[in-house]
Amino acid sequence: MARGWYLARMANRGDGSGANSDTTGKKRISCSIIALVLVAGGICVVPVLGVVAAVAIPAFINFTKRSKTSEAGPNLRMMYEGAATYYMAEHVSRDGSVLRHCTVDPATTPATPTNGRVSLSGRWPESFVAIDMTPPDPLYFQYAIVGAPSRCGVGPDEAVYTFQAHGDLDADGVLSTFEYSVESNSSNELYRSVGLYVVNELE
């Protein structure tokens, strides 16, 4: 009787031990599957992140550059408006004569185009001062007044100025150019080209 009880007990132990073994095996299989899923997910995620970075980073750089180029248009319009006012104003010569339809000398701002802002406070060329183009804020662009030497008595239907802004927003030596052409019309008033002429907008 005692031997039968012992054998039954050993049999029960054996069944319990087998159940534990099966549970451990299932856990190992589950952990392996999870590990495979994580590895596969990582393999998929890394290329996706690479593609996102390849698209997003250049787009962000171009967005930053474009936001900087927004400086050029308003300043070129300021140059045109100041030059038009100067052109229609009366100027008095040394002998007391009243002169109209006058232009200013060609000039370029002294700062070299760069990827940082440069202050021109106190360094504006005389021609820029004459047309009231002296913004107080530091600038990214170099500005130029292109044309003949200053004179008065300019007639109608003449090419008078080219106003330019040059930028190098990534400091690679390649310049962008924004430009207005300015002429006198048949009424002998200055007018500018309708749109900006642009070369290498984002370089």
pLDDT tens digits for 78-104? 999 999 999 999 999 999 999 999 999
Whether 30 and 103 map to the same domain: the answer is no
Residue-number span of the structural domain to which 48 is assigned: 1-68
The residue assigned the tokens 């003949």 is 148
**Claim to verify: residue 191 and residue 174 sit in the same structural domain:** yes
Q: Report whether 139 contacts 121 (CB < 8 A).
A: no
Residue where a domain stops, chosen among 36, 68, 100: 68
Q: With 60 as the cut, is the pLDDT of residue 52 above it?
A: no
Residue 195 near residue 177, CB atoms below 8 Å: no
* pLDDT recorded at residue 201: 87
CA distances from 156 to 6, 77, 81, 92, 102 (A): 124, 21, 18, 21, 12
Q: Decide if pLDDT at 198 tops 90.
A: yes
For residue 55 the two structure tokens come to 């698209």
Strand partners, 179: 164, 197
Residue 1 tokens, joined: 């009787």
Choose the final residue of a domain: 68, 99, 117. Answer: 68
pLDDT value of position 16: 47
Contact 111, 117 (CB under 8 A): no
Same domain, 46 and 62: yes
Residue 94 CA to its chain's centroid (Å): 47
Report the SS3 class of residue 182.
Answer: strand
Q: What is the CA radius of gyration of the chain?
A: 38
- Residues 178 and 142: their CA atoms lie apart, in Å, by 10
Is residue 77 domain-shared with residue 135, that is, in the same domain? yes
Number of structural domains the chain divides into: 2
Encoding tokens for residue 57? 């980073």
Three-state secondary-structure class, residue 146:
strand
Name the pTM for this structure. Answer: 0.70
Residues 100, 117 within the same domain:
yes
- Please report, to the nearest 10 degrees, the dihedral formed by the alpha carbons of residues 37, 39, 45, 51 taken in order: -140
Token pair for 130: 């004459």
Whether residue 111 sits in one domain with residue 192: yes
Confidence of residue 202 (pLDDT cuts 50, 70, 90): confident
Residues 62 and 74 in one domain: no
Query: Each residue of 12-40: pLDDT tens digit?
Result: 554 444 445 555 555 566 666 665 655 55
Same domain, 141 and 177: yes
Same domain, 61 and 84: no
Q: How high does pLDDT run on average in the chain? A: 82
